[in-house]
Amino acid sequence: MTLPIHLQIVNLLAALLLLISFAMLSQRRIIGLVTLFAWQGLALAVSTALVGWATGQHHLYYSAGITLILKVIVMPWIFYALVKKLDVDRDVEPMINIPTTMLIGIALVIFAFNLALPISQLAGTVTRSTLGIAMACVLLAFLMMITRSKAIPQVIGFLAMENGLFFAATSATYGMPLVVELGVALDVLVGVFVLGIFFFQIRETFDSLDLKHMEKLRER
């Protein structure tokens, strides 16, 4: 049975989200990481709007709009400003080399698809086939968080993991209630502002955003 064109586009966007997640794993420059995060947000917003149009779930339009404003415009602008202000647009060497990280990422994708298989069979949504990709994006974002020593890439990894969780919610249950989504969006936005202040404090104290320097505080 051939899927409708809009569902084919959703599946294509899901595959694009997975590719962007792998690209973020291999990206060594912070500015490039921010750009990939913005593209991931755009793909997520378009996918959410398409699911809302296909299923008549009008609250997904609001979710797509919130994602577009926050993840594509506001947060990337904040990160670009932080990178310029802190002058940290240089190569980011991960704690694990890139080839090993990519191999671990492939293993996590296989694990995610096997984990999502019984769950997607129970889901009654037309987008349940993308649940495995959503869970893979969550795991890849978590892997990026734990393999980077710089503060900004770790925060971007956390936000990318939130993108994967939102895509998983859309795949399994057509998203969360709008009130919950607004609350999460506000919390994330406030958190980014607070972390921006935190970055400046780290830079002023250690003249670097490498979190390894914070071990000095524990030794004292």
Can you give the pLDDT at residue 218? 47
CB neighbour class for 210 (10 Å; exposed up to 12, middle 13-18, buried from 19): middle
* Strands of 75-177, DSSP E: none
Element (H, E) at 37: helix 30-55
Domain ranges of the chain: 5-219
Angle between helices 59-67 and 151-173 (to 10 degrees): 170
Closest to 79 (Cα-Cα) out of 189, 204, 210, 213:
189
Among 50-59, 85-94, 141-150, 186-195, the range scoring the smallest mean pLDDT is 186-195
Can you give the pLDDT at residue 60? 82
Can you give the pLDDT at residue 104? 92
Residue 56, token pair as written in the block? 């008549």
pLDDT band of residue 59 (cuts 50, 70, 90) is confident
Element (H, E) at 161: helix 151-173
Can you give the pLDDT at residue 19? 94
State pLDDT tens for residues 157-212.
888 888 888 888 777 776 655 445 555 555 565 566 556 555 555 555 545 545 45
State pLDDT tens for residues 82-122.
788 777 666 556 677 888 889 999 999 999 888 888 777 76
pLDDT at 18 over 60: yes
CB neighbour class for 196 (10 Å; exposed up to 12, middle 13-18, buried from 19): middle
Can you give the pLDDT at residue 38? 93
Distance (Å, whole) CA 164 – CA 168? 6
| Mean pLDDT computed over every residue of the chain | 77
Distance (Å, whole) CA 100 – CA 204? 33
Residue found by looking up tokens 């926050």 in the block:
70
